[in-house]
Structure 1
Amino acid sequence: MKQLNESSNNWWATGEGVTLGGGVINVVIGFIKFFAGSVGGSPALLADALHSFSDLATDIVVLLGYRIGRAPEDDKHPWGHGKIETLATLIMGVVISVLGVGMAIDAVINLTGEPSPTPPGIIALGAALLSIVGKEGLFRWTAWVARGTDSRLILSNAWHHRTDSLSSIAALLGVWAARNGFWWGDPLAVIVVSLFIVKVGADLLLPAYQDLTDASVEDETLIIIEETLGNIQGVKGYHNVRARRAGAELFIDIDIEVDGGLNVIQGHDVARAVKTALLTGVKGTRDVMVHIEPIEARVEVERRELLQKRAAEIALETQGVLGVHGVRLIPDASGCLINIDIEVSPDLIIKEAHEIAHNLKYKLKELEGVGDAVIHVDLHGDV
């Protein structure tokens, strides 16, 4: 199911376009930072440049995951390839989390090491500032496309750009601090930024893991589904509302209750109306499986459960009954047959036990819808 920008003729409004464009910009920024870090004598900027070059690997993961994940279904993948996009999102979450941890470790090592005797040149400041502006621009562009295409994978890449921007801020602070005699400013800034980066990675990992394990969608989406069902003519009730994600696509499975007097064609028309309403009313819905049940079936189940409960209560209220188990309802021509097991004291004689069973049977037959009752007597303590 195509999303807002996916059918756009503008390459910059598509998932593949923004990923390819971002890769090119990453290379350009990487070369600028590498040159400035080498000339300006900034180890922090050189490390940030290598980080930009390494982004090409994640851009390839995003591009392949997005392209394969949005491929149409085939004979071996009748539900599409959305899980590939989710898997790629999971990989991005791991990469970003590992990146944050690695930055923190390097910062701690630098903090305990010897300061550089020569402060970085002014060119390093300009390159770091340019990197911040460029990466922040990439974040906003990619996030805009992610919202339009409803892609968590593209959104994960957007946040990857944001983490790069933050690492460049750390590099900028480090260069400024080193030029002003505060050599420890760089590693401290990196540690703070790394904590944020790890959180971003974790925030990407959890939803991706839930989608891969077919966890239910968020409550907000379930509310939209239920509100949509409430506006469809012919739907008397619903239950077992289930929805899961595969990439950007949503799959819904639901049981609806209709008038049991409808014929097969009429019931099918209601189911088709439900499917159409959910496909058009719930964003990202790829397929809807609708199960039809007569409303009378649910009413009958509830009636039988109440009848079983009431029968057990009456039995326990009957004098001489010490316990109840195995309350069963059996439909018959006269209405319903109650088959119940009761427990009585082993000190009773047969006549007394028979009278207890007889009294209980009389009470049960007075219940509405009960035609007869069969009482089984067991000794209390032997069951």
Structure 2
Amino acid sequence: MQYDPFPEDSEDNQQIQNERARAASRSTWVSVAVNVLLSALQIVIGTLSRSQALIADGVHSLSDLVSDFIVLFANHHSRKEADDDHPYGHQRFETAASMGLGMILLAVAIGMLWSALGKLKAPENIPQVQASALWVACVALVAKECLFRYMLAAAKRVKSSMLVANAWHARSDAASSLVVALGIVGNLFGYPVLDPIAALIVALLIGKMGWEFGWEALHDLMDRSADEAEVQAIRRTLMETPGVSGVHDVRTRKMGDLIVVDAHIEVDGTLSVEAGHDIAVAARQRVLQRHRVLDLMTHVDPWRRPDLDHAMAGTSQS
């Protein structure tokens, strides 16, 4: 059974969600294609050229495929409409996907650290790499940087934190490919230990990115509020609504890339219940139209004009 508590707002929200979903699908499939080619090239050439750093970078690219499919999975499910079990919709699938990306990055980083440290314990067994590894590392660097810029532009256009996370994942890949290229250059110039050191640095970069993604997503899943600037902007929109005399107890919580808001608004206490309700409805619609708010729950408090209170007090004294 589908549940739509506010059908008058659903059309605009659905349009935004559809646009975000199309952007996510396009950018993610481009990422899939690039990572399939790069991972195959890096692992094959890395094995033939005996470069541990290039192989590690190839495994990193392979892990990107897993993260890309997680994004596609979350993108599909976050588009589902609200139902009885999820009256606010399924937007937090995006947050869960960001957390999944962080966990994957951490797991990949731990594996790469273990392998690199093993090689550094026996530096005399580190082989000399071949020049082909450097060419592949440079190709990977350029491809990943271009992929990052493309994905970040798409993410900013539709304001999707999940796509931003995946874009910066691609940037971490570009940074790791740069380190790999430098390590291979050092190996070619007679410093073979630089190849596993490069793999170690790549692992640390990946681990740092994974921790940040996972930690941010965890806070969002724990109902972290929107940033203060956005909360104040919502408060101003409420205050500017005709008939609203005051606003207090504004609380927010993130729902994927959207926000759920609870607020107390003050209206003239001499108004009828129906008139107060109409003001609350108007305030809610203004917020939904101007901000990335999924839902706004208002509580109407009575407010008395100071001059009226003073007049009533004078009457009672006489």
Pick the TM interval, shorter chain: 0.7 to 0.9
Q: Contact (CA 8 Å) 1:3, 1:149: kept in 2 or not?
A: no
Q: Determine whether 1:286 maps to 2:298.
A: no
User: 2 CA distance for matches of 1:103 and 1:34?
Assistant: 14
Deviation at 1:33, TM superposition (A): 1.5
What is the DSSP-based 3-state SS (H/G/I as helix, E as strand, rest coil) of the residue aligned with 1:238?
A: strand
Q: Match of 1:60, as an amino acid?
A: F
What is the DSSP-based 3-state SS (H/G/I as helix, E as strand, rest coil) of the residue aligned with 1:183?
A: coil
Provide the residue aligned with 2:260 in structure 1: 251
Q: Match of 1:210, as an amino acid?
A: H
User: 2 CA distance for matches of 1:4 and 1:113?
Assistant: 55
Query: Which of 62, 73, 76 is the equivalent residue of 2:85?
Result: 76
Q: Determine whether 1:227 maps to 2:236.
A: yes
Q: Contact (CA 8 Å) 2:238, 2:283: kept in 1 or not?
A: yes
What is the DSSP-based 3-state SS (H/G/I as helix, E as strand, rest coil) of the residue aligned with 1:14?
A: helix
Deviation at 1:97, TM superposition (A): 2.8
User: 2 CA distance for matches of 1:131 and 1:67?
Assistant: 29
Query: Which of 19, 25, 30 is the equivalent residue of 1:7?
Result: 19
User: As a proportion of its length, which structure holds more strand?
Assistant: 1
Would the alpha carbon gap of residues 50 and 202 (structure 1) be closer, same or farther in structure 2, given more than 3 Å must change?
Answer: closer
Q: Match of 2:158, as an amino acid?
A: T
Greater Cα shift, 150-159 or 174-183: 150-159
**Could you state the TM-score of these two structures normalised by the residue count of structure 1?**
0.71
**Could you state the TM-score of these two structures normalised by the residue count of structure 2?**
0.84
Provide the residue aligned with 1:322 in structure 2: none
Q: Determine whether 1:44 maps to 2:56.
A: no
Q: Match of 1:148, as an amino acid?
A: R
Q: Determine whether 1:238 maps to 2:247.
A: yes
User: 2 CA distance for matches of 1:97 and 1:146?
Assistant: 23
Q: Which has the larger radius of gyration?
A: 1
User: 2 CA distance for matches of 1:103 and 1:165?
Assistant: 17
What is the DSSP-based 3-state SS (H/G/I as helix, E as strand, rest coil) of the residue aligned with 1:19?
A: helix
Provide the residue aligned with 1:18 in structure 2: 27
Identify unmatched segments of 5+ residues in structure 1: 300-334, 336-368, 371-383
Deviations 1:351-376 (A, max 9, x none): xxxxxxxxxxxxxxxxxx99xxxxxx
User: 2 CA distance for matches of 1:278 and 1:140?
Assistant: 32
Deviation at 1:116, TM superposition (A): 5.0
Would the alpha carbon gap of residues 223 and 30 (structure 1) be closer, same or farther in structure 2, given more than 3 Å must change?
Answer: same
Provide the residue aligned with 1:260 in structure 2: 269
Would the alpha carbon gap of residues 253 and 2 (structure 1) be closer, same or farther in structure 2, given more than 3 Å must change?
Answer: same
User: 1 CA distance for matches of 2:290 and 2:185?
Assistant: 53
Q: Match of 1:293, as an amino acid?
A: D
What is the DSSP-based 3-state SS (H/G/I as helix, E as strand, rest coil) of the residue aligned with 2:240?
A: coil
User: As a proportion of its length, which structure holds more helix?
Assistant: 2
Provide the residue aligned with 2:310 in structure 1: none
What is the DSSP-based 3-state SS (H/G/I as helix, E as strand, rest coil) of the residue aligned with 1:250?
A: strand
Aligned residues: 297
Q: Contact (CA 8 Å) 1:88, 1:153: kept in 2 or not?
A: yes
Greater Cα shift, 193-202 or 153-162: 193-202
Larger RCO of the pair (alpha carbons < 8 Å, separation 6+): 2
Query: Which of 160, 175, 192 is the equivalent residue of 1:166?
Result: 175
Q: Contact (CA 8 Å) 1:146, 1:155: kept in 2 or not?
A: yes
Provide the residue aligned with 2:42 in structure 1: 33
Provide the residue aligned with 1:157 in structure 2: 166
Q: Contact (CA 8 Å) 1:243, 1:252: kept in 2 or not?
A: yes
What CA RMSD, in Å, does the superposition of the two structures yield over aligned residues? 2.6
User: 1 CA distance for matches of 2:113 and 2:273?
Assistant: 65
Q: Contact (CA 8 Å) 1:5, 1:14: kept in 2 or not?
A: no
Q: Contact (CA 8 Å) 1:6, 1:148: kept in 2 or not?
A: no
Determine what percentage of the aligned residue pairs are the same residue: 33
Provide the residue aligned with 1:342 in structure 2: none
Deviation at 1:115, TM superposition (A): 4.1
What is the DSSP-based 3-state SS (H/G/I as helix, E as strand, rest coil) of the residue aligned with 2:80?
A: coil
What is the DSSP-based 3-state SS (H/G/I as helix, E as strand, rest coil) of the residue aligned with 2:122?
A: coil
What is the DSSP-based 3-state SS (H/G/I as helix, E as strand, rest coil) of the residue aligned with 2:297?
A: strand
Provide the residue aligned with 2:5 in structure 1: none
